[in-house]
Amino acid sequence: MEVECVGVSGKPPAKCESWGPPLQRAGSQRGTVLNHEPPHHAEYYMHEAKRMKHRADAMVDKLGKAVNYVDAALSFMECGKAMEEGPLEAKSPYTMYTETVELIRYAMRLKNHSGPGARQEDKQLAVLCFRCLALLYWQMFRLKKDQAMKYSKALLDYFKSSPKVPTTPPIWSDSGKGTGGPPSSLSPSASALPLGSSPSSLINIPLRIHQMAANHLNITNNVLYSYEYWELAESLVRDNNEFFNYLNTLSGPLTLHSSIAHAVQYTRQGLQWIRISAKVG
């Protein structure tokens, strides 16, 4: 994209330098990823993901390796979405997204985006990865949101009806100098209590409630991880405004509520420009 600029005299100079990637300035369309393919079955995306992963396994250049692993992760994301919309297969969509998260994290460990030797392409790749991770965690929460609501209601009902923990202080302190002094003899059950505790300050929580609370925490943590990764991406975007402004213009802005299809197309376009800029396969 080329923009005419008006000088102080009011007369426009010949042309201003374009703010798009070099390939676009040259007028070539090689840097644009076309997205006209119809949706496929999960098996197709799984095959494509494995093909890209094997390609990445065979590469030596770390940036090229990372880019191809992320490209494979995009096909795994498409596979997970196809599983959501079709009959479930051997793996659930949640498991597919979980394993995709691990693949992206592995790809990010290959290149340091924050050190003194980090290139612009490393930072651009990190933004794309962080955004994909944020969307994956959000998608994982969405898949189990109904379960989280049930757990939340059951836990609230339990703690509303459960006996309250006494607020009276214990009769002895850690040093044995409490108001009543330590007991002269401790029974086996009393000796197992933590120091500073009394039998009346402990309540038993049923195992099912403990497990329910753990499951609820695992699901709701996905929301926290999603926002954390999105904020990490935003902190890096400021150093690459030109790249991502142009990407937003061409592909449409990416948000936490974007579809998987949009996230894949957006990220693939960014990966293509990184490949061209860094001259990696």
pLDDT band at residue 85 under the 50/70/90 scheme: confident
Bigger pLDDT: 145 or 171? 145
pLDDT band at residue 2 under the 50/70/90 scheme: very low
Give me the pLDDT at residue 161, please: 84
Q: Is 121 exposed, middle or buried (0-12, 13-18, 19+ CB in 10 A)?
A: buried
pLDDT band at residue 242 under the 50/70/90 scheme: very high
What phi-psi label fits residue 39: left (phi over 0), alpha (psi between -120 and 50 degrees) or beta?
beta
Question: Are the beta carbons of 130 and 113 closer than 8 angstroms?
Answer: no
Specify the length of the chain in residues: 281
Question: Are the beta carbons of 23 and 273 closer than 8 angstroms?
Answer: yes
Average pLDDT over residues 106-135: 93
Give me the pLDDT at residue 194, please: 54
Give me the pLDDT at residue 40, please: 79
E-strand stretches of 155-218: none
Q: Which two tokens stand for residue 30?
A: 């090689």
pLDDT band at residue 117 under the 50/70/90 scheme: confident
Highest mean pLDDT of the ranges 41-45, 69-73, 119-123, 191-195: 69-73
Position 253 pLDDT exceeds 50: yes
**Which residues, other chains included, contact 271 with Cβ-Cβ below 8 Å and sequence gap of 6+?**
67, 70, 71, 125, 128
Distance CA 28, CA 110 (A): 31
**Which residues, other chains included, contact 116 with Cβ-Cβ below 8 Å and sequence gap of 6+?**
none
Distance CA 70, CA 58 (A): 15
Give me the pLDDT at residue 73, please: 98
Alpha helix stretches (DSSP H) within 14-144: 22-25, 42-57, 62-85, 93-109, 120-143
Give me the pLDDT at residue 17, please: 38
Q: Where are the domains of the chain?
A: 42-161+205-278
Q: Please report, as a single letter, which amino acid is at residue 158.
A: Y
Position 196 pLDDT exceeds 70: no
The model carries a pTM of 0.76
Average pLDDT over residues 261-269: 96
Instruction: Write the pLDDT tens digit of every residue in 5-38.
Output: 334 344 444 443 344 444 444 334 446 665 656 6
